[in-house]
């Protein structure tokens, strides 16, 4: 098989087998924040926040060495792992696939750096496959076909037969693809046996993480508030004092049972007055920290003491607030479990790979 065909098969498998040896992770706490609606109060306090579908790109030209044919490049041995050879062609095809998937970053590293990096990855792969062989891990043909069929569906191919025809047109046989799929599943199985099944996350560890990162976890939670804004007539301190007195009078009316919505419509100088002082449903971090702290320290239904900002005196009332309780707490704890598992998985995987490397005979010739 030529180097170009080897690159083709790797590109196909890169799409077909996107990371099947690694579990899927929750990348970070909570969901990606949605862009907030335009502010109607304390605009100076709002923090600024900021696709198209995937587009098919041509396969990259594999790196070439002057004066050498593809077959010579493919056959040159650059490393031996125990009794298993790794060829320069395998290294070059790995680099070509990486460049295709990382076009914007592909110029950041030299060819030699990339060659060293991908050779090390190939060595790790060989070691894992050899461990799977020692553990007598086998993958049935039905498992291979099931995995391949599922991945081909995600590529949008109408059938496995249509996929096979496309691969064959590029000089790639279905058997060669199935071998890669089988190897990938064997690696996944050995990693699960030697790493994943030896990791546990305790409730105490989750509790400690929860307490240490509570503010971060609460970032995605929402709250709903209203306010009345009393603005001083002039910049003088006397005018500010008079505005504060009016704010205190509004609060007193609210505490005496007056309708806060009606008070906002009557007294507030903010554009939200017509909506009863409604600030809307907000996410943590959308308002300035000082104003948000004033609101979030309230109990639901509680009215704040007058608070001075650059705009004037505010009287806030908290209408509703999500907290880490019930379903939200359960989701947060599951996210924490995934994060802690990932940390332990990566540490354990690194230790295991070092262990099998230490007892292996590895000769690098590149």
Q: Where are the domains of the chain?
A: 3-21+58-194, 222-321
pLDDT of res. 71: 54
pLDDT digits (tens, 9 = 90+) for 293-310: 999 999 999 999 999 999
Q: Which two tokens stand for residue 102?
A: 């990382």
CATH number at 3-21+58-194 = 1.10.4030.10
Q: Which residue has the tokens 């924040």?
A: 33
Query: What Rg value do the Cα atoms of the chain yield, rounded?
Result: 31
Q: What is the mean pLDDT of residues 334-343?
A: 96
Examine the pLDDT at 50 and tell me if it is beyond 50: no
pLDDT of res. 230: 96
Q: Are 269 and 312 in contact (CB under 8 A)?
A: yes
In the chain the first and final C-alpha atoms are separated, in Å, by: 22
Write out the CATH class of domain 222-321: alpha beta
Q: What is the mean pLDDT of residues 319-338?
A: 88
Q: Are 57 and 295 in contact (CB under 8 A)?
A: no
Max mean pLDDT among 88-97, 102-111, 279-288, 310-319 falls in 310-319
Beta partners for residue 227, in sequence order: 316
pLDDT of res. 70: 52
Return the higher-pLDDT residue of 300 and 11. 300
Q: Lowest mean pLDDT: which of 30-34, 74-78, 238-242, 335-339? A: 30-34
Q: Lowest mean pLDDT: which of 11-15, 91-95, 322-326, 354-358? A: 11-15
Return the higher-pLDDT residue of 220 and 206. 206
pLDDT digits (tens, 9 = 90+) for 100-149: 777 766 567 788 889 999 999 999 999 999 999 999 999 999 999 999 99
Examine the pLDDT at 189 and tell me if it is beyond 60: yes
Examine the pLDDT at 186 and tell me if it is beyond 90: yes
Q: What is the mean pLDDT of residues 160-187?
A: 89
pLDDT of res. 37: 38
How many Cα atoms sit within 13 Å of 329 on the Cβ side? 8
Q: What is the mean pLDDT of residues 174-190?
A: 93
Looking at every residue in the chain, the average pLDDT score rounds to: 82
pLDDT of res. 188: 95
- pTM (two decimals): 0.60
pLDDT of res. 43: 43
Under the banding of pLDDT at 50, 70 and 90, the label for residue 221 is confident
Examine the pLDDT at 45 and tell me if it is beyond 70: no
pLDDT of res. 349: 95
Q: Are 297 and 223 in contact (CB under 8 A)?
A: no
pLDDT of res. 33: 36
| Cα dihedral 229/233/236/240 (nearest 10) | -30
């Amino acid at each position: 098989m030529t180097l170009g065909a080897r690159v083709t098969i790797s590109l196909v498998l890169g799409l077909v087998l996107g990371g099947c040896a690694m579990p899927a992770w929750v990348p970070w706490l909570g969901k990606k924040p949605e862009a907030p609606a335009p502010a109607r109060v304390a605009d100076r306090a709002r923090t600024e926040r900021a696709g198209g579908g995937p587009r098919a790109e041509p396969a990259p030209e594999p790196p070439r060495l002057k004066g050498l044919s593809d077959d010579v490049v493919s056959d040159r041995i650059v490393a031996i792992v125990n009794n298993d050879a790794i060829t320069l062609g395998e290294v070059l095809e790995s680099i070509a696939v990486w460049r295709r998937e990382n076009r914007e970053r592909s110029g950041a590293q030299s060819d030699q750096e990339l060659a060293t990096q991908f050779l090390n990855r190939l060595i790790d792969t060989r070691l894992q496959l050899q461990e799977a062989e020692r553990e007598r891990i086998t993958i049935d043909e039905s498992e291979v076909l099931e995995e391949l069929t599922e991945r081909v569906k995600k590529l949008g191919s109408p059938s496995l037969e249509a996929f096979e025809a496309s691969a064959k047109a590029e000089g790639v046989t279905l058997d060669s693809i199935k071998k890669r799929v089988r190897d990938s599943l064997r690696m996944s199985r050995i990693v699960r046996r030697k790493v994943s099944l030896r990791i546990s996350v305790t409730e105490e560890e989750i509790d400690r993480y929860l307490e240490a990162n509570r503010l971060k976890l609460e970032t995605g939670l929402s709250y709903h508030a209203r306010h009345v804004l009393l603005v001083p007539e002039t910049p003088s301190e006397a005018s500010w004092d008079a505005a504060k007195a009016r704010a205190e009078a509004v609060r007193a009316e609210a505490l005496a049972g007056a309708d806060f919505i009606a008070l906002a419509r009557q007294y507030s100088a903010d554009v939200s007055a017509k909506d009863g002082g409604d600030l809307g449903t907000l996410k943590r971090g959308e308002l300035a920290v000082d104003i948000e702290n004033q609101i979030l320290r309230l109990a639901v239904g509680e009215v704040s003491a007058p608070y001075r900002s650059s705009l004037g005196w505010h009287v806030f009332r908290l209408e509703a607030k999500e907290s880490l309780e019930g379903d939200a707490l359960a989701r947060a704890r599951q996210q924490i479990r995934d994060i802690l598992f990932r940390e332990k998985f990566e540490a354990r995987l690194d230790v295991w790979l070092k262990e099998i490397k230490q007892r292996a005979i590895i000769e690098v010739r590149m």
